[in-house]
A and B are shown apart, each in its own frame.
Chain A
């Protein structure tokens, strides 16, 4: 890169904000970033308006780190704008990569979700049954809310993405490595996931043996042996099918990998891969025994698809009654 400073944009769509914190977790390294880039857009941290970014030239942003899934018109609009304005668009973090937690909404639909959130949940007091409205008139004029989609999408399902930086959130050392790669121009081929193509097991120091699972336990039910593979001890661990890069943080402290770094290269469906891996080592000979073991694993869909439902082959739970999605927005027609 020339001595001229590059331009960096950061944006959060549908996400928790953890990815923003992860950038700040670079600590003093953030100064290197500031030295290399002018930050032209980072609404979470500095006061920018959408008009500011819309006013930029096409391709003016050198690198945009985009976190969060796409679940409403506003998210999608910003995805399109930032794609247009950025030379390199990075899907940053698990939500923009695979849909992640927001994406679990694809196991249900908008109506059911609104019903629970705004009416049924125990902490809600909403006697009129008011639901969010796209347009509402107030004395000061009309207020609008972005259209909320039925189906959560990943960034790459909306616009072309150049690189993926997985993780919930991405680890500081990986962000650093990615930024360094961008600054020095040593980037992998476009479309790549930045990070090693091995699994969490590779970084996990626990001893691995041949596996046979007779029973699944929840973390609070047993005190696992500190030196042996958690999966072998019946603790669900997605590390067998999840890209490494995190340093196996969770399994090292006795908590099974949740799968936030997503699948390895070439895997079409993260959940299905972990599922087949685990199903392969159930210690069962009959369908009844299989059922018995699987009954000890609560919420299998949540375990297997926690971070990648929208990006998986499944995409979402089938919409009943012949409802179809429109190709572009995922909105039910």
Chain B
């Protein structure tokens, strides 16, 4: 090894570090560590003066390696790597010691301890850094096509933004029509504009855009490749209707003799036919045959739709089609699913007739819905005289979901308004806390209070039809403790609306796995950084937008959709991306092909090469997570930048007796 010359820089971070850690002392002490030729402390290493100091020293002292002891590498690793690169030093010859999050902040009440720990961390970095090797990023070309998965408002927005910029989008939607949940709503808070009126133009644009290939009633089955070069296999489920011929005229579903309860779009309140289009504004306009309920598939008879179709578009023998598309980036916008209130049996949903979910209510209130917008009880005729709206159903409750579903307060206020406007019924909102944090939301809350809705602060413990008094007879009684007056209460009403929360989709784990996006403990897809990188995932080229990332309202979903589009467009316009060189490599001359590592890789980056009897890492797919490196029982997988030597040296460094050294340094 030629001579190693390490520079150490200890940051005060204002008072953040220097308030607890004796920064000057750490810098002086570090000067005596092996190979250190210059050690300094500095008020703010990340400021331009701090960075310039590094650059000057690299030149003046001929530094071969640099250590900065400051904050988390998440914050400033890039900053200092760039400073090194500007001075001609390979950025991977830089190492960071985190003496803020790991020392000063967590040991604020123990100055000596924090100082000693900072010294250990610097020592670890100094010992490690000399084993680091120069690495070069890998450059890959970016295909300009994009895949968007999920055609709710978030996915539609993403697709339109990218397509409008002139690049091609494949928009894959599982259901027969795009639109997602928003297509089911009557009005949207807080402005109370008609949901369909603002959504359908966007749906139409997405369906007819020259740069969008809409793959509805389709699902992604397999994803291979890496950023810039994904190959995606899509199953186009058979509609049994020839889209080239169908005009969407409606003769088929008008004449179809089979009526089916529509549990998807109408939330079980209305019905559709066995050949159907989920709603009038559906995009695309073509119907599908519901094979499970169609008479033809049961008995081979009927064929009514075929008889009446003026363009002969019915195809009973149509089969699923497999399509392969090549894309450079992927945006997941798969949305949420509603919490199933049957899981809280004491709320009686499914048992007590007139307990409704929020989605059912949206359909009741919708002029295009099963009651043509009339708010009535389950019997279909009786208008309620009193309505209770229960907030936080399945949300903010550690038995179900601990997260706040973000939209229920506002949606509940919307329901209160619609009930009062359409029926004149008395409305009670049962809430835990009111959350009206976005623009116009607090004003909306006041408006609804002024309109006369009652608010009871307390968690409903039970909804029952067991009357205690003659007034409760025939009613639904909500039992709760009113925490504002400090007394238990029983409130009898005709109708209850449960504001069920937003949950991750049941298949989110699987879908995430397929695309290399992880799910956090709430089950929603995990963003790369909760504040600074909210629409990226750990997989390069895979982005997330909308309610699949966490419960959120329409404006936030649209904003994320646009943000994800911007990220995609940025990579497309760069034409190439640099991939982090921190990745695993298998020494094939020493690999014995035991295949332990093969299904370890969360990114599907490892292939077994049958002919050579060895496993191989695809460098473009590898994220350098180290799982396979740890798993390999013969230690022939090397994790670049986290090599065995580097880690052992780091451990050796952290074991240095910092208290003994402290006595020697003046």
- Roughly how many angstroms separate A318 CA and B648 CA in the complex, as a whole number? 22
Q: Is the CB of B634 within 8 A of A267?
A: yes
Q: Is the CB of A202 within 8 A of B595?
A: no
Is B293 an interface residue when CB atoms closer than 8 A count as contact? no
- Can you name the residue of chain A whose Cβ is closest to the Cβ of B613? A202
Name B603-652 residues within 8 Å CB distance of A. 608, 613, 627, 630-636, 644, 648
User: Chain A residues near B120 (CB, 8 Å)?
Assistant: none
Interface residue from A201, A265, A277 paired with B593 (Cβ < 8 Å): A201
* Contact bitstring A243-274, B, C-beta under 8 A = 1, else 0: 01000000000000000000111111000011
User: Total contacts A to B, CB within 8 angstroms?
Assistant: 77
- Can you name the residue of chain A whose Cβ is closest to the Cβ of B645? A266
Q: Is the CB of A239 within 8 A of B594?
A: yes
Q: Is the CB of B635 within 8 A of A244?
A: no
* Contact bitstring B233-245, A, C-beta under 8 A = 1, else 0: 0000000000000
Segment of A41-49, A205-213, A322-330 in the binding face: A205-213
Is B549 an interface residue when CB atoms closer than 8 A count as contact? no
The interface on chain B, measured as residues whose beta carbon lies within 8 A of the other chain's beta carbons, has a size of 23
Q: Is the CB of B636 within 8 A of A264?
A: yes
User: Chain B residues near A278 (CB, 8 Å)?
Assistant: 596, 633
Given contacts A198-B590, A201-B594, contact A210 B599 (CB under 8 A): yes
Q: Is the CB of A198 within 8 A of B599?
A: no
A: residues with CB less than 8 A from B are 197-202, 208-212, 229, 239-241, 244, 263-268, 273-274, 276-278, 280-281
Q: Is the CB of B593 within 8 A of A280?
A: no
- Can you name the residue of chain A whose Cβ is closest to the Cβ of B632? A277
Interface residue from B631, B634, B648 paired with A199 (Cβ < 8 Å): B634
User: Chain A residues near B633 (CB, 8 Å)?
Assistant: 199, 240-241, 273-274, 276-278
User: Chain A residues near B635 (CB, 8 Å)?
Assistant: 263-267, 273
Is B483 an interface residue when CB atoms closer than 8 A count as contact? no
If A264-B590, A273-B635 are given as contacts, then 7 extra A-B residue pairs at C-beta distance below 8 Å, sorted by A number, are A201-B593, A201-B594, A209-B595, A240-B596, A276-B631, A280-B596, A281-B600
What is the CB-to-nearest-CB distance from B611 to chain A, in angstroms, rounded to a whole number?
Answer: 14
Is B598 an interface residue when CB atoms closer than 8 A count as contact? yes
- Can you name the residue of chain B whose Cβ is closest to the Cβ of A280? B631
Interface residue from A198, A212, A267 paired with B592 (Cβ < 8 Å): A198
Q: Is the CB of A199 within 8 A of B596?
A: no
User: Chain A residues near B627 (CB, 8 Å)?
Assistant: 280
Q: Is the CB of B594 within 8 A of A208?
A: yes
Q: Is the CB of B595 within 8 A of A198?
A: no
| CB<8 Å pairs between A and B, sample of 19 | A197-B590, A199-B592, A199-B633, A208-B594, A210-B595, A229-B595, A240-B592, A240-B594, A240-B596, A240-B633, A240-B634, A244-B592, A266-B635, A273-B633, A273-B634, A277-B594, A277-B631, A281-B596, A281-B631
User: Chain A residues near B636 (CB, 8 Å)?
Assistant: 264
- Roughly how many angstroms separate A47 CA and B633 CA in the complex, as a whole number? 44
- Roughly how many angstroms separate A209 CA and B598 CA in the complex, as a whole number? 9
- Roughly how many angstroms separate A266 CA and B643 CA in the complex, as a whole number? 12
- Can you name the residue of chain A whose Cβ is closest to the Cβ of B644? A266
- Roughly how many angstroms separate A280 CA and B600 CA in the complex, as a whole number? 7
Q: Is the CB of B592 within 8 A of A200?
A: yes
User: Chain A residues near B644 (CB, 8 Å)?
Assistant: 266
- Roughly how many angstroms separate A199 CA and B592 CA in the complex, as a whole number? 6
- Roughly how many angstroms separate A198 CA and B597 CA in the complex, as a whole number? 16
Interface residue from A229, A264, A268, A281 paired with B634 (Cβ < 8 Å): A264
Main secondary structure of the interface of B (DSSP, over half): loop
User: Chain B residues near A276 (CB, 8 Å)?
Assistant: 630-631, 633
Most buried by B among A209, A240, A265: A240
Q: Is the CB of A198 within 8 A of B631?
A: no
- Roughly how many angstroms separate A263 CA and B648 CA in the complex, as a whole number? 18
Nearest 9 CB-CB pairs, A to B?
Answer: A241-B633, A277-B633, A202-B592, A280-B631, A201-B592, A199-B592, A201-B594, A240-B633, A240-B594
What is the CB-to-nearest-CB distance from B41 to chain A, in angstroms, rounded to a whole number?
Answer: 36
What is the CB-to-nearest-CB distance from B601 to chain A, in angstroms, rounded to a whole number?
Answer: 11
User: Chain B residues near A240 (CB, 8 Å)?
Assistant: 592, 594, 596, 633-634
- Can you name the residue of chain A whose Cβ is closest to the Cβ of B595? A208
User: Chain A residues near B595 (CB, 8 Å)?
Assistant: 208-211, 229
User: Chain B residues near A209 (CB, 8 Å)?
Assistant: 595
- Roughly how many angstroms separate A212 CA and B599 CA in the complex, as a whole number? 9
- Roughly how many angstroms separate A240 CA and B648 CA in the complex, as a whole number? 23
Interface residue from B590, B598, B613, B631 paired with A210 (Cβ < 8 Å): B598
User: Chain A residues near B600 (CB, 8 Å)?
Assistant: 280-281
- Roughly how many angstroms separate A276 CA and B594 CA in the complex, as a whole number? 14
- Roughly how many angstroms separate A263 CA and B633 CA in the complex, as a whole number? 9
What is the CB-to-nearest-CB distance from A23 to chain B, in angstroms, rounded to a whole number?
Answer: 28
User: Chain B residues near A265 (CB, 8 Å)?
Assistant: 590, 635
User: Chain B residues near A244 (CB, 8 Å)?
Assistant: 592
- Can you name the residue of chain B whose Cβ is closest to the Cβ of A199? B592
- Roughly how many angstroms separate A277 CA and B648 CA in the complex, as a whole number? 20
User: Chain A residues near B613 (CB, 8 Å)?
Assistant: 202
- Roughly how many angstroms separate A273 CA and B632 CA in the complex, as a whole number? 7
User: Chain B residues near A241 (CB, 8 Å)?
Assistant: 633-634
User: Chain B residues near A281 (CB, 8 Å)?
Assistant: 596, 599-600, 631
What is the CB-to-nearest-CB distance from B514 to chain A, in angstroms, rounded to a whole number?
Answer: 17
What is the CB-to-nearest-CB distance from B254 to chain A, in angstroms, rounded to a whole number?
Answer: 49
- Roughly how many angstroms separate A268 CA and B630 CA in the complex, as a whole number? 13
Q: Is the CB of A211 within 8 A of B599?
A: yes
- Can you name the residue of chain A whose Cβ is closest to the Cβ of B648? A268
User: Chain A residues near B591 (CB, 8 Å)?
Assistant: 198
User: Chain A residues near B598 (CB, 8 Å)?
Assistant: 210-211
Most buried by A among B591, B594, B633: B633
Most buried by A among B590, B634, B644: B634
- Roughly how many angstroms separate A239 CA and B598 CA in the complex, as a whole number? 17
Most buried by A among B590, B592, B632, B635: B592
Q: Is the CB of B593 within 8 A of A202?
A: yes
- Roughly how many angstroms separate A267 CA and B648 CA in the complex, as a whole number? 12
Most buried by A among B597, B608, B635: B635
Name B452-510 residues within 8 Å CB distance of A. none
Q: Is the CB of A208 within 8 A of B593?
A: yes
What is the CB-to-nearest-CB distance from B652 to chain A, in angstroms, rounded to a whole number?
Answer: 13
What is the CB-to-nearest-CB distance from A263 to chain B, in angstroms, rounded to a whole number?
Answer: 8
